[in-house]
């Protein structure tokens, strides 16, 4: 699978001091490179230009640090800020946006738009994630159901996007960060199932390509070949 | 089951103008009285002293307004503020806290404590809710598993509570609102399963009783007999 995206990410943040702010802050990310949830946090940190140390987890043999920092769920991502852990990607992103307010706001300031952004993120966490799993984890009828659902959810997201460049309007933000790691799945789903998102949701694909043009996104997401290889490994691990 | 708690709640808000603020705002709640998620919103509105119109839903025959206002999930609660819908209880409560900032803040202002409050609310939404459902919806081994899990989650919540009167510290807030409608379940769970939360989690029970002393809570939650009767109806509806 070549050079681990983790290495690339870590190197980038350690050698590009011009991107960093808040030097007094110690920021550690307990990461796992194929995880779409961890990818969200990498993107948010990159958008804010926050320097951080990346600790890659082996999910088959979780580190004592992960067990200590997320004692309830033992899951990545965990952001450790000055020794204190924050768990769950959407909570971490809100925390990042709250603490590093000045650089690139991720959530809208308007209360109603903020609620809408949270709603769509929750929709992605449940509907898009679950149907996506059906596509790569199952076969036959279940896989077909997953595909149909996923296309339905994407069409709903396309309606929500409308003619805006990003979900929040002119600026890349919370919902874009939540969705783009899953959008990245679609590129290798054709290896598991007959899947043509471009034909089904052309506007959403344009949005995805627009996001991928951002360095914060392209450098935080693994490419399709890496993801496909990783997912084949998961299937093997899960004896599927 | 006697007078519907909905009627009691609606009457209370319409005849107590001294409790209300923000008269220029039109606030409607699409409600369902046994729902713990809807109860959270009733409590938050009461804490803020917000006048609102309560529209009780018949979940077997959902209103066109609910279908229009929550076209994705068709679920209660929905808060309609000046014609615009906000869905999902924890999103609604954050919205309420954001718009009606002055009265009784519900979320902490500190970024880390805010992230922690969101984490525990997410824990309640998933773990406590799921295990609670197992207790009242299943039998035998599954029910026993649900009970054991629920007690485990409550012990974790007890540790998080520590010696504080409320989850956020001195003041009743977000996590208390998220949990207390589920705490209210424990009182009638003894009708479904051998269940003694007082022996297992005495501190949490004390916390629950402390919350119930608040008018915002006691008037927003149905009593145990009403809940038990409602849950028997659900079981019948679900052919269990």
**CATH code of the region A111-237:** 1.20.1050.10
- List the one residue out of B134, B175, B127, B129 whose CA is nearest residue B152: B127
**B224 pLDDT band (50/70/90 cuts)?**
confident
Note whether B91 contacts A156, CB cutoff 8 Å. Answer: no
Tokens 């702010």 belong to which residue?
A: A21
- Whether residue A92 lies within 8 A of chain B, CB to CB, comes out as yes
Tokens matching residue B88 = 């999902």
Mean pLDDT for chain A overall: 89
- List the one residue out of B89, B167, B162 whose CA is nearest residue B129: B89
pLDDT tens digits for range A163-197? 999 999 999 999 999 999 999 888 888 888 888 89
- Whether residue B98 lies within 8 A of chain A, CB to CB, comes out as yes
Give the dihedral sign, CA B216/B220/B223/B227: negative
The secondary structure of A89-155 as a DSSP string is: HHHHHHHHHHHS-SSS--S-SSHHHHHHHHHHHHHIIIIIHHHHHHHHH--HHHHHHHHHHHHHHHH
Q: What pLDDT score does A3 carry? A: 41
**Residue range(s) in chain B whose domain bears CATH number 1.20.1050.10:** 111-237
Tokens matching residue B178 = 């998220």
- Chain B hits for A86, CB-CB cut-off 8 Å, are 112, 115, 119
| A125, A90 Cβ separation under 8 angstroms | yes
- List the one residue out of A170, A176, A163 whose CA is nearest residue A117: A176
Three-state secondary-structure class, residue A223: coil
| A142, A132 Cβ separation under 8 angstroms | no
Q: What pLDDT score does B18 carry? A: 33
Give the dihedral sign, CA A88/A225/A150/B95: positive
pLDDT of B33 higher than 70: yes
Q: What pLDDT score does B235 carry? A: 83
Q: What is the largest CA-CA distance in chain B?
A: 53
Among B88, B98, B123, beta carbon nearest to A111: B98
pLDDT tens digits for range A216-234? 999 999 988 888 888 888 8
Please identify among residues 117-176 of chain A the ones whose CB lies closer than 8 Å to any CB of chain B.
118-119, 122-123, 156
Q: CB neighbours (10 Å) of residue A164?
A: 12
Q: Phi/psi class of residue B168: alpha, beta or left (left: φ > 0; alpha: ψ in -120 to 50)?
A: alpha
User: Does A77 sit behind a cis peptide bond, omega within 30 degrees of 0 on the bond before it?
Assistant: yes
**B240 pLDDT band (50/70/90 cuts)?**
low
pLDDT tens digits for range B120-144? 999 999 999 999 999 988 889 999 9
The secondary structure of B42-89 as a DSSP string is: HHHHHHHTB--EEEE--TTS--HHHHHHSTTT--S-EEEETTEEEESH
Note whether A111 contacts B92, CB cutoff 8 Å. Answer: no
B166 forms beta bridges with: B169
**CATH code of the region B5-99:** 3.40.30.10
Q: What is the ipTM of this complex?
A: 0.88
**B195 pLDDT band (50/70/90 cuts)?**
confident
Q: What pLDDT score does A233 carry? A: 86
Minimum mean pLDDT range among A156-160, A209-213, B7-11: B7-11
**Residue range(s) in chain B whose domain bears CATH number 3.40.30.10:** 5-99
Q: CB neighbours (10 Å) of residue A3?
A: 9
CA dist B209 to A110, B198, B206, B213, B219, Å?
36, 11, 5, 6, 14
Rounded to a whole number of angstroms, the distance from the CA of A159 to the nearest CA of chain B is 12
Radius of gyration of the CA atoms of chain A, in A: 17
Q: What pLDDT score does A5 carry? A: 47
Note whether A115 contacts B92, CB cutoff 8 Å. Answer: yes
Q: What pLDDT score does B72 carry? A: 95
Percent of all residues in chain B with a pLDDT value above 70, rounded to a whole number: 90
- Compute the distance between CA of residue B46 and CA of residue B50 in angstroms, rounded to an integer: 6
Angle between helix axes A129-137 and A224-237 (nearest 10 degrees) is 70
| B82, B26 Cβ separation under 8 angstroms | yes
**A33 pLDDT band (50/70/90 cuts)?**
very high
**A41 pLDDT band (50/70/90 cuts)?**
very high
pLDDT tens digits for range A60-91? 899 999 999 999 999 999 999 999 999 999 99
pLDDT tens digits for range A111-139? 999 999 999 999 999 999 999 999 988 88
Q: In what order do the strands lie in the sheet with A53-56?
A: A53-56, A27-31, A78-81, A84-87
pLDDT of B20 higher than 70: no
- Whether residue B113 lies within 8 A of chain A, CB to CB, comes out as no
- A122-157 b/e with 16+ CB inside 10 Å = b? bbbbebbbebbebbbbbeeeebeebbebbbebbebb
Tokens 């990545």 belong to which residue?
A: A76
**A235 pLDDT band (50/70/90 cuts)?**
confident
Q: What pLDDT score does B24 carry? A: 67
pLDDT tens digits for range B48-89? 999 999 999 999 899 999 999 999 999 999 999 999 999 999
Higher pLDDT, A17 or B138: B138
Q: What is the DSSP letter of B128?
A: I
Higher pLDDT, B193 or B46: B46
pLDDT of A15 higher than 80: no
Determine the average pLDDT of the residues in B147-176. 97
Tokens matching residue A120 = 């769509």
């Amino acid at each position: 699978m070549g050079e681990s995206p983790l290495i690339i990410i870590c190197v980038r943040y350690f050698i590009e001091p011009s991107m960093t702010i808040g030097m007094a802050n110690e920021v550690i990310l307990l990461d796992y490179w194929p995880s779409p949830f961890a990818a969200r946090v990498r993107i948010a940190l990159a958008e804010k230009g926050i320097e951080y140390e990346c600790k890659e987890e082996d999910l088959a043999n979780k580190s004592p640090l992960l067990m200590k920092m997320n004692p309830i769920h033992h899951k990545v991502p965990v952001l450790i800020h000055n020794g204190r852990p924050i768990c769950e990607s959407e909570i971490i992103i809100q925390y990042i946006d709250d603490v590093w307010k000045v650089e690139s706001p991720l959530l809208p300031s308007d209360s109603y738009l903020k609620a809408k952004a949270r709603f769509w993120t929750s929709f992605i966490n449940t509907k898009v994630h679950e149907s996506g799993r059906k596509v790569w984890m199952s076969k036959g009828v279940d896989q077909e159901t997953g595909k149909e659902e996923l296309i339905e959810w994407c069409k709903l997201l396309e309606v929500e996007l409308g003619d805006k460049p990003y979900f929040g309007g002119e600026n890349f933000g919370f919902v874009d960060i939540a969705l783009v790691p899953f959008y990245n799945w679609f590129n290798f789903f054709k290896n598991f199932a007959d899947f043509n998102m471009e034909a089904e949701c052309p506007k959403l694909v344009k949005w995805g390509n627009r996001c991928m043009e951002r360095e914060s996104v392209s450098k935080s997401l693994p490419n399709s070949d890496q993801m496909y290889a990783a997912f084949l490994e998961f299937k093997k691990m899960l004896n599927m």
